[in-house]
Amino acid sequence: MAKSKTVFFCQNCGAQSPKWVGKCASCGEWNSYVEELVESSEKNSKIWTDRDAKAIPNRPVKIKEVQSEKSERIDTHDIELNRVLGGGIVAGSLVLIGGEPGIGKSTLFLQMALMMNDQKILYVSGEESPQQIKMRAERMLPLSSDNCYLLAETSVSQIFQQVHQVEPDILIVDSIQTLYSAKIESSAGSVSQVRECTVELLQFAKSTGVPVFLIGHITKEGTIAGPKVLEHMVDTVLQFEGDRHLSYRILRTIKNRFGSTSEIGIYEMLGTGMRQVTNPSEILISNKDNALSGVSIGASIEGNRPLLIETQALVSTSAYGTPQRSTTGYDAKRLNMLLAVLEKRGGLRLGNQDVFLNIAGGLKIDDPALDLSICVAVVSSHEDQVVSSDICFAGEVGLGGEVRAVNRIENRISEAEKLGFSEIYISTVNKKGLDFSKYKIKIHLVSNIVEVFKQLSS
């Protein structure tokens, strides 16, 4: 009989200690250690394939002797998902997807499994029965697939036995917190169980070349549940974001060993599944019948994708002694800095004014190129002057009131021209190397915010 013992694990970084400690020596977190029951000797478990038993021990090789393998990525038949993965699924990769409950993680990857008719996919669920998954899949018709297999199981050893029989091309696990391994005697979802199950799935993916998708829960702080080492073990970490009260969802790349780490994919959650939003400006720019003050359009970049974003500002006289500064989707400290610049360099008196700022569409933007658009929206609301909906802005505002250059200005101008804007305001520094002849949109070069306001009022 195996001898058991108790060990304390840090829920943040996965470090272990023979006794409880208040502060983790590895990551510095307080009160993060929990007690778990483990075994000192491993149980024999069935391996998933015979090739591991016959594997030749690794030996060091020179980097020049390593043969480069150019394997094609697997197409998911989803443009947005392909984008965040870096062009498709890499063979043998381990992908972790996190998001709030009910945000649509399971729906998105069940939809992917139904769309990929050319791949044999095993969808393992530890939370739902095959009948419940079938009910959800029926809403996504006419999406259908003869190569999508369902398995309701939480034991890792049982999953590997079924994998050995089915031999899938892609494995989807929903969710990693529900799995348990016979090697660990703690409950499912504990730090040691999540780490052990992920290690076994990682070894399976790397030895067989089968891509594995792990759907994970998140904590109340918004981070993926389990030890932080979980994110270091996987190849790609995706975060599914969105407001429950809005239908749009954003799939954001947090980590990617095979592509860019700043890509986003945008979806609309419908009753029939996730609809790909190939033109994000349709959700970021509202269609208004009447022109309103306090609204301007900014040209932003998220990853490799240019976005035209509507910024809304409301400036009103404060009814109390201390004026309010409230933002949605934007950094409040940067807004305070821009208001100070407008008051010092632009001559506006905002010290007794409430200022509210909103980024339309539910996005969270930290691109400094939106500074000029935000300043214009604030002035527009303060002066109650409407800014034409055919004008957009792309520029960073410095503390001296100067309009600074932003990167990838050609992409921003091209996107504005494609969406029908007639004018765009950019920094004079951006004119170097810019070919004005290939654009039909009128480009205004400005050096400071006062110059922008004068041109808009003329």
Same domain, 250 and 324: no
Q: Are residues 19 and 91 in the same domain?
A: no
Same domain, 265 and 309: no
Residue 155 labelled as part of a binding site? no
Same domain, yes or no: 323 and 424:
yes
Sign of the C-alpha dihedral, residues 379, 381, 382, 384?
positive
- 264 annotated as a binding-site residue: no
Task: Domain of residue 159: give its range.
Answer: 77-278
pLDDT value for 47: 45
Cβ atoms of 394 and 298 within 8 Å: the answer is yes
Specify if 67 maps to a domain: no
Q: Examine the domain organization and report whether 309 and 256 are in the same domain.
A: no
Any domain includes 49: no
In a domain, 71, yes or no: no
CATH assignment of the domain containing 156? 3.40.50.300
Is residue 57 included in any domain, yes or no?
no
104 is in an annotated binding site: yes
| 157 and 177 both lie in a single domain | yes
State how many domains the chain has: 3
Is 101 a known ligand-binding residue?
Answer: yes
| 359 shares its domain with 437 | yes
In a domain, 68, yes or no: no
What is the chain's pLDDT, residue by residue, as a tens digit (458 residues)? 455 677 888 877 778 888 889 988 888 888 888 877 665 444 444 444 444 444 556 789 898 888 877 778 999 999 999 999 999 999 999 999 998 888 889 999 999 999 998 899 999 999 899 999 998 888 876 656 788 999 999 999 999 999 999 999 999 999 898 999 988 877 787 888 888 899 999 999 999 999 999 998 877 666 676 667 788 889 999 998 877 777 888 898 989 999 888 788 889 888 888 999 887 776 667 666 567 899 999 999 887 788 899 999 999 998 877 899 999 989 999 999 999 999 999 889 898 899 999 998 777 888 999 999 999 999 999 999 999 989 999 999 999 999 999 999 999 999 999 888 999 999 999 988 888 888 999 999 999 999 999 999 87
Domain boundary among 215, 245, 278: 278
My answer on whether 224 and 193 are in the same domain is yes
Strands 353-359, 305-317: pairing kind: antiparallel
Helix H or strand E segment including 283: helix 281-284
The answer to whether residue 26 sits within a structural domain is yes
267 lies in the same domain as 287: no
CA distances (Å), 152 to each of 76, 107, 166, 168, 279, in order? 23, 16, 14, 16, 37
Q: Within this chain, do residues 110 and 249 fall inside the same structural domain, yes or no?
A: yes
Please give the pLDDT value at position 50. 46
Domain boundary residue, one of 228, 259, 278:
278
Q: Is 194 exposed, middle or buried (0-12, 13-18, 19+ CB in 10 A)?
A: buried
* 242 in a known ligand binding site: no
Element (H, E) at 195: helix 191-208
Q: What length does the chain have?
A: 458
pLDDT confidence of residue 396:
96
280 is in an annotated binding site: no
Q: Flag whether 126 is marked binding.
A: no
Q: Is 22 annotated as a binding residue?
A: no
- Same-domain status, 175 and 152: yes
Q: Give the residue from 212, 154, 201, 200 showing the smallest Cα distance to 180.
A: 154
Task: Say whether both 216 and 361 belong to one domain.
Answer: no
Residue 44 lies in a domain: no
CATH number of the structural domain spanning residue 345: 3.30.230.10
Residue 47 domain-assigned? no
User: For residue 38, what pLDDT is reported?
Assistant: 64
pLDDT of residue 51: 45
Domain end position, chosen among 278, 293, 319: 278
